[in-house]
Structure 1
């Protein structure tokens, strides 16, 4: 395993901080990126609340290098990317500087998942807008799929993409909407990136191969799910599909895998290839149960 240090310089304008929140879904932890070359810079994502080691590392680095944060761009609403804003406000911003601007796409559905803590000024992101700081130009890409409010960022000076959780440094990502997710992967591929800075895991140094693998993997997974339904003699539940398809995945991750299966099933239902009754699924041409 490629061990990620707490702080590492990835290029002349990008530093990576590890959120120190390891887990099954976060891998070694959430990656946060400090972008720019001047005394005032942009932070991509905020990290997860309740992990003081990360806050102390970031705070010490900013203080020692005499750097302030002018903006934080949040890629999506998940707690491990936005949760530490409260911790930052109480430790970093109450001591060394005023709170920076927070940029984020608005989450239309489930507004309870779209809350920024008091004390910050929020600016809603818009697709294709450019956010500049000394030494860096970030172009905002609306890339829903992992979540409905997901943003990726294209760093023009490096032809690099901050992919949030749409693309990981290890393994594959979960998603809320498979159709949107596939479209977003294709959009990132169209930027012709030379490198990807992911929300979790090591830097992706062969980004186009990785994205093509993701697309191929999803198409193959959909076929696997369809084949299980096709060869089963009776209607089948989503978890039964997981046990047949995700044989190499640890059982503690099966619930997350089930969400992926359900999203594939939703896509197949929209395409009228599969039908659902209760918690069971069967081929659309099998008629009534």
Structure 2
């Protein structure tokens, strides 16, 4: 059975985020934190304080709610106040002001999930929902295995507010800053500040209205009257928009990232992997929006020939019939186009050229693209699951060499074909290469230890992954063995693998 299957995206969990403001009209600032470099999601990104709705939040909200109350909103608000206290130390006081809770309270809050409820019961912290207004709701697109429907609530702390403080132990944030929305959006556009896509579009909503001469508090009040919901533009970086397309792909991924590249009127469409009507609708809707703004697709580029990247070519051709770019191997699979190769420059006239990097290990003819914005890495690395190097047409030796070449480019950000944007490209590239080199060594050691048949070598090399599908384990072991043959470390004769003695014995 093929590992490439169409699966639905996981349903989102619920979360709350706090848009905390302070100051007077004309000098309003928003509190954001710089996420710790070691957190799993969006390290070194600026974000609002917040987190997921817990079981304890739900239990407390339901006990506190009266007949006719919006229970789900109350649950979200309890989460909001808990996260604000835990991450910033800020809490409502008994007289309605905002204070930093004592150190002993914060120590108590990190003891466990029940500590928050105990602190509420003992009057150490307070939940006062009267000043919190829902200003938007954003749902993580289906490119991530863990998704959230995140409610953003605005709370104005007044003209003056205490400075946030980090909790005992390691914090999710390394730094707090009161930002002017225009300043952080400008720094994001220049590449000197990072934000996740929901924060980017939210800041745009505010800044666009600020440029009409309106104040931030007025804008947030208007948003609270009619909070924007539903899908939003997914910007990984300036000029790098992502459209997750549902595809039959390798688990745990359920979608392939189609990219719209460019900041001017001419755009590049990368891997529009339409396989059905749902994917077609996603592409058509977005291209119609772009066309209404005077933008057009100049070319389509396919990173490689795998079906979860090419999709149904006839469907995309019906929508946009433009020049197709790809390597000779890729174009041979889709019926022709303009050949691209190592070092070619794709210039869209927006002062952000992209350079073609040939990285054929995962698939013959696969390319990546690099610019000052970051690295569009195709199927070299992923933020979800693992990358396979198929024994049928992949090349493990070239794959590991490609990872080394991409690491040498030291990209600013990484835009994978599956999963969210990566803020720490060197960490992910190094981790992926290290994993493959360790597996390579295990396969070689199995052969050196006297195992000479594929099945036995696979069992030995993958004994640390007992739940991995047998067919996958055998296939990846064979890819490693062929790489070792290419490197002159192993020979194969009639399905029997033997290690070549080194000069040192």
Assess, with a 3 A threshold, how the Cα gap between structure 1 residues 58 and 48 changes in structure 2: closer, same or farther.
closer
- The answer as to whether partners of 1:6 and 1:57 remain within 8 angstroms in 2 is no
Structure 1's unaligned 5+ residue stretches are: 94-98
Higher mean alpha-carbon deviation, 188-197 vs 260-269, is at: 260-269
TM superposition shift of 1:70: 0.9
Q: Determine if the alignment matches structure 1 residue 242 to structure 2 residue 468.
A: no
Q: Determine if the alignment matches structure 1 residue 197 to structure 2 residue 445.
A: no
- The answer as to whether partners of 1:48 and 1:79 remain within 8 angstroms in 2 is no
- The answer as to whether partners of 1:7 and 1:18 remain within 8 angstroms in 2 is no
Whole-Å separation in 2 of the counterparts to 1:267 and 1:23: 25
Whole-Å separation in 2 of the counterparts to 1:72 and 1:194: 24
TM superposition shift of 1:22: 5.0
SS at match of 2:300: strand
Partner of 2:31: none
Report the RMSD for the aligned CA atoms in angstroms: 2.5
TM superposition shift of 1:274: 2.7
- The answer as to whether partners of 2:249 and 2:308 remain within 8 angstroms in 1 is no
Higher mean alpha-carbon deviation, 71-80 vs 243-252, is at: 243-252
Q: Following superposition of structure 1 onto structure 2, how do residues 113-192 of structure 1 map, counting pairs within 5 Å?
A: 114-117=332-335, 122-135=337-350, 136-156=352-372, 158=373, 160-175=374-389, 176-192=394-410
- The answer as to whether partners of 2:397 and 2:486 remain within 8 angstroms in 1 is no
**Alignment match of 1:70 (pick from 289, 298, 322):** 298
**Alpha-carbon displacement from aligned partner over 1:130-155 (angstroms, at most 9, x marks no partner):** 11114331111112211220110012
Assess, with a 3 A threshold, how the Cα gap between structure 1 residues 126 and 274 changes in structure 2: closer, same or farther.
closer
Partner of 1:96: none
Assess, with a 3 A threshold, how the Cα gap between structure 1 residues 149 and 26 changes in structure 2: closer, same or farther.
farther
Whole-Å separation in 2 of the counterparts to 1:141 and 1:187: 9
Structure 2's unaligned 5+ residue stretches are: 1-144, 149-230
TM superposition shift of 1:71: 0.6
Whole-Å separation in 2 of the counterparts to 1:85 and 1:23: 17
- The answer as to whether partners of 2:259 and 2:271 remain within 8 angstroms in 1 is yes
Whole-Å separation in 2 of the counterparts to 1:147 and 1:10: 25
TM superposition shift of 1:56: 0.4
TM superposition shift of 1:7: 5.6
SS at match of 1:102: strand
Assess, with a 3 A threshold, how the Cα gap between structure 1 residues 270 and 151 changes in structure 2: closer, same or farther.
closer
- The answer as to whether partners of 1:129 and 1:139 remain within 8 angstroms in 2 is yes
Assess, with a 3 A threshold, how the Cα gap between structure 1 residues 271 and 181 changes in structure 2: closer, same or farther.
closer
Assess, with a 3 A threshold, how the Cα gap between structure 1 residues 144 and 271 changes in structure 2: closer, same or farther.
closer
Q: Determine if the alignment matches structure 1 residue 260 to structure 2 residue 476.
A: yes
Assess, with a 3 A threshold, how the Cα gap between structure 1 residues 26 and 133 changes in structure 2: closer, same or farther.
farther
**Alignment match of 2:310 (pick from 74, 79, 82):** 82
Q: TM-score, with normalisation over the residues of structure 2?
A: 0.49
Q: Determine if the alignment matches structure 1 residue 58 to structure 2 residue 276.
A: no
Whole-Å separation in 1 of the counterparts to 2:366 and 2:421: 19
Whole-Å separation in 1 of the counterparts to 2:290 and 2:485: 54
- The answer as to whether partners of 1:6 and 1:18 remain within 8 angstroms in 2 is no
**Alignment match of 1:15 (pick from 241, 245, 256):** 241
Whole-Å separation in 2 of the counterparts to 1:149 and 1:116: 13
Whole-Å separation in 1 of the counterparts to 2:274 and 2:458: 29
Paired residues, number: 266
Whole-Å separation in 2 of the counterparts to 1:88 and 1:22: 17
SS at match of 1:275: strand
TM superposition shift of 1:208: 0.6
**Alpha-carbon displacement from aligned partner over 1:217-247 (angstroms, at most 9, x marks no partner):** 1211111112223335xx4432333333334
